[in-house]
Every structure is written in C-alpha cells, then in structure tokens.
Chain A
Amino acid sequence: MYSPKKEQFHTFQETEHGVFGLFDSPAEIINAAQKTKDKGYTNFDCFTPYPVHGLDDAMGLPRSGLPWVTFFMGIFGCVAGFGMQYLTHKYDWPLNISGKSFNAWFAYIPITFEFTVFMAGVSTAVAMFILTKLPKTGRKVLHPDITTDKFALWIPSNSANYSESGVTDFIKGLGSKHVETVK
C-alpha cells in the first residue's frame, strides 16, 4: 500500500558555507551527483538551469510527495464544496425552486467540481512554495551562469565527512574547471 513518506518532502536548504563546482553538461552533473552520493556526502544539492531528468535518481531523491497534498486537498475541496451548498440550501436558507427537492444535488456538481480543482491546485502550489522555501528574496546566488547554461554541484559544510580541502579535491577530481569555496 502506498503511503506518504517523509523523505518525499525533501526541502531546499539555504546555501551558506561550503564548496561548489561548475559543470558544463547535464551528463557531467548526473555523473557528479552519483559519485557524491556514493562517496557518502549528505545534504548536497545540484543547481541547474533547467530540470535535468535522471538527476533525481543520481542524487538519491525520491519522487516528490506533492501528489499526496493534491489528493487529500482535492477530497477536502470536494466535500467542502458539496457540503457548503447542501447545508446552505437544505438547512440555512431553503429556497423552493419549481417545487424541486432542497437537495437537488445535480445542480451542485459544477461548483463541487470547481471547488475540488481549486483546493487541490492551489494547495499543491502552496505546498511547493513551502518545501522549496519560496518566496525568499536576496538569496545567495552561487554563480550567475547557473540559470543560463552551467550546472553546479554544491556540498555544504554540514555535510557528512566534510573537510574543505577534501571536498575541493573531490569536486576537482570529478572534472570541474571552476571550484569555489563559499564562506
């Protein structure tokens, strides 16, 4: 049975102290992420200009757990949308329209549907903003080319087995031509 797992809700961690190296292609960053994971560094991240497919696996990230948010909030929206209409029309403010039943539920379907979609969509987006820690302005940008065509591997100082020289040598060994320490 599928159930939500904590690691599916991996969050973005602020970049404060650590070492990063720049790579030129998606293949290099996938390879680098794989090696970093195998080496036992934790909390590391990759920064890419566009989503690189295969990188999640290489980094050992499980699939995002956001569909669970969509699912439960969709059910909530459906129940709340229908309930709002049923309770108001049946109990709070009954209106006799052409002698129809107060619970003429066929007519509630459009709003129930719209409310389901609204709650599911908006809350999934909100959950994404919480997990990715957005919005937060003035964030440290490692290198301006990362949003254009460079791929960065970031190993923060709170990573397991972290030592500045060790990490620098490790990233250089992966083939990065630009390695920088952030303090």
Chain B
Amino acid sequence: MPNAIKEALDIQPLVTGGKSVRDVTVDILKPVEAFPTSLWWKAFLLALTITVIDLGIIGYLVYEGLYILGINNPVGWGFFIVNFVFWIGIGHAGTLISAVLYLFRQEWRTGINRAAEAMTIFAVLTAASTLIIHIGRPWMGYWLFPYPNERGPLWVNFRSPLIWDTFAVSTYLTISLVFWYIGLIPDIAAVRDRATGKVRKAVYDILSFGWVGSNKAWSHLETVAMILAALSTPLVLSVHTIVSFDFAVSIVPGWHTTIFPPYFVAGAIFSGFAMVVTLMVIAREVFQLKDYITMKHLENMNKVIMVTGLIVGLAYSTEFFMAWYSGNEYEGFTFVNRAFGPYGWAYFIMFSCNVFAPQVFWSKKLRNSIPVMFVVSIIVNIGMWFERFVIVMTLHRDFLPSSWDVYVPTVYDFMMLLGTFGIFFTLFLLFCRLLPVIAIAEVKTVMPHKDGGHH
C-alpha cells in the first residue's frame, strides 16, 4: 500500500522508531547475544525451583498413589482436568495469531506470532503433562495410542473422547511445533551468521538446519507456512471442540449441552489472548522491544479479549437460559447449584472476572494503558481457570443425592497447579534467552520499504 494512502487512512506503522532492516536483526537478537540480565536469572531460578519442587511432588504422587489428592467419588478428576483444559486453552491464542490472522492477512501479527506460538507449544506440553499424570499410572500412558500389540486383537476404543483427545492433542502439538520451527529456521540462520564464537556458531548451525536464504527454498517455505496456517485454523477449532466433547458426550447435567464446543473455543481464545498480553507486556519491557511490539499490537489484542469476553458471557447466560427453558429439572438444579451451591463463590469469581473485567476495554484510554491491560489480562486468566473449575465441580452433585460429596483440594493439588506455571515459565524463559522472540524475517516483510518488495 502506498504511504500516502496509509497516511490518509491513519494506518500506523507496525515498526516504530525509524528502524532499518539491519536494526531489526540487531535489536531482536540483543537478548540472545548478550549475557542474561540479573532479572532474567532471578525469574528463571524462581521458575526452575518451582518446576523442581513440582517434579518432586509428581514423583511422590507416583510413589504413593492418587489418594494424596482431593479427588473423591463424584469428583473423580479434580484439578488435573481443570489444569489440562486451562493450559490447552492458553495454547490456542498462539495458533490463532499465527494461523487465522495469517490467512486474514493481518500484518500486525508478525510482531507477536513467534512468542505466541512458543507459548502454544509450552502450554500444550504443560497440558499434556497433567493429562499423563492424571491417569494414575503414567507409565501406562502409551496405552492411549493404538499400537500393534501381542495381546491379540486389542485396540483402543476409537469412540471414546479420551482417545479423541489423544489424537487431537498430539496432532496439535506436532503441527504447532512444525509450524513454529519452520518459521524459526531463517531467524536461527541469522543468529548463526552473526555468531562469533566457534561453539555458538556450530550449535546454531545445527539448529538452523543449514539455511542459507535461497529464494528457491523461500518459495517452498512460504507455501508451507500458508498450508500449515490453513490446516491449523480448523485444527485449533477442532482441538478445543474435542476437549469439550470430553464433557459434552456424557449425560451429566450441565455438561451435556451443544453449546460446549463454541463456548470452549471462545473461552480458549479469550484466555490465550490474555496470556499473550501478560507475556508481551513483560517481554517488550524487559527486552526493549517497544518498537516492534507496539501499542497497536496490544490494543488489537485487547479488542479480541473484549469481544471473546462478551461471547463467553453470552455462553454463560445461554447455559442458564437453556437450563430453565429445557424444562429438565436436573439441568435446572445444576445451574442453580452452580451459582448458589457450595461452589457459588467460584461461579461468582468466574463470572465477574470473565464478563465484567474485560469491559473496561470499551474505553480507548484504558485499552491503551499498560497497567490496566496487565491487570485485566491476569484477572481474565484467573477467571478462566475458575471457569474450568466450575465446570469440573459440576460433578459434586449429580443425579443421586446419596453420592453427593464436596471436593476439597489438598496441598498437593495446589502445589501441582503452581507447578504447571513453573514448567511453563521455565520453558518460556529459556526460549526468550536462546531464540529470537520476534519473527525477524516476517517483521522485515511488513516494514515500509523505500522501493521494491511489493506484497
């Protein structure tokens, strides 16, 4: 688009500060090339400590058995599934930014897609770890996969949502990883070509797969990026749809609803974007990337959070309406119990965090305020964790009053919840230190060039 038209339409540049193409590489690779700051070390050691403690607890859990947790007979899943759905949801924003916005030619995605995709991968890994532990005997985890075995014709039940989950999550992880790494290859090559030390050069040479920037290769690479974006878009919707099927194909009142798939997908985008905002606000501050992750990027993400917050709010209301309108007394009871039963406080937290808090973004001033968006993004994540908690806690009162019980999480439940954050942040901090957090080559394509390179 010519610059005159951009000015007339008041389109802000995506890279501010009058940067040249060389500056982009230099600025973005600064944290990779310099010795880490003390702030990074502090954050990393904190996250690593939490992770190590978490691994210890997991070891203890495997040794002792699941009874050390708060799970009981009606509430058989507890925090694990809450954490699983929460982290899978966090992951979705990364794919949305990298795939859906790519297909819609949203050039502002280039500043944030790399970090968001990394977030996706780490979040899905975290989610997968909770899934493996919750089966109780994690060393049997491979039973979830269909494999030729010596026990005669014995296959997994492909009609079970648990197996759908296995396929969905592993496909999602693989495709996201491939998509992310293919984008990284040219940028790692840039790190290699700027490296001075021999070891460093060799390591990044291996990581870059020997990329040299040939246009014959670029032509294929761009095609693959487009194809993966086109495949990821339905994939990301299908993954959370399938996660929601874990609940929706049951006959438990409050779970057996057709609104679950879209409602889960909207919730995933909502929480994922909130997490991207949380991470980006920190990253641009710590790594001095304000010229690349501009207010425009943050404002756009805040708009997405606001819209998906409204969708989630609509879904909550629709659930309530349908519980009454269906005339099903079990369904009706479940929802009254959710709002006013023993876990009414959780419902209240969920509703106020998810529906009311993001509404501050109607104001342009608040949408552009770093402290406000940081606080709101954290509130949204708390709210979304509680959303999954509320859904899982539906089990505590089902059809038979004689089986009613209350789920009280133990200290191990809480430690393992904290532990998931430890794993996630350890991986994320390592990523920030070792790989470029912004897609350098892609940012260069959206910069205002004086000549050539039309898009």
Contact = CB atoms under 8 A, between A and B. Distances in A.
Given A64-B223, A141-B212, A149-B25, A26 B451 contact: yes
A93 to B, nearest CB: 4
Given A26-B452, A128-B182, A147 B227 contact: no
A72 interface: no
Interface in B4-51: 20-22, 25
Interface residues of A, number: 73
A118 B213 contact: no
B197 interface: no
B228 A125 contact: yes
Interface of B: 20-22, 25, 146, 153-155, 157-159, 163-164, 167-168, 171, 174-175, 178-179, 182, 185-186, 189-190, 192-194, 205-206, 209-224, 227-228, 231-232, 234-235, 238, 242, 245, 440-442, 444-445, 449-455
12 contacts: A26-B452, A54-B452, A97-B157, A111-B163, A121-B231, A125-B224, A128-B182, A129-B209, A131-B217, A132-B216, A147-B189, A148-B194
Contacts, number: 224
A180 interface: no
Contacts of B444: 49-50
Given A63-B219, A64-B223, A137-B210, 5 more contacts: A25-B451, A26-B452, A54-B454, A107-B158, A136-B210
A54 B453 contact: yes
A148 B209 contact: no
A118 B21 contact: no
A53 B155 CA distance: 49
- Kindly name the residue among B20, B157, B194, B206 whose own CB sees the greatest number of chain A CB atoms within 10 A: B157
Contacts of B212: 15, 47, 139-142, 146
Q: Is the interface of B mostly helix, strand, loop or mixed?
A: helix
A160 interface: no
A129 B211 CA distance: 11
Kindly list the 4 A-B residue pairs having the minimum CB-CB distance in the complex, ordered from nearest.
A27-B452, A26-B453, A135-B209, A26-B452
Interface of A: 10-13, 15, 25-30, 33, 45-56, 59, 61, 63-64, 66-67, 70, 84-85, 88-89, 92-93, 95, 97, 104, 107-108, 110-111, 113-115, 117-118, 120-122, 124-125, 128-129, 131-132, 134-142, 144-149
A70 B224 CA distance: 9
B451 A49 contact: no
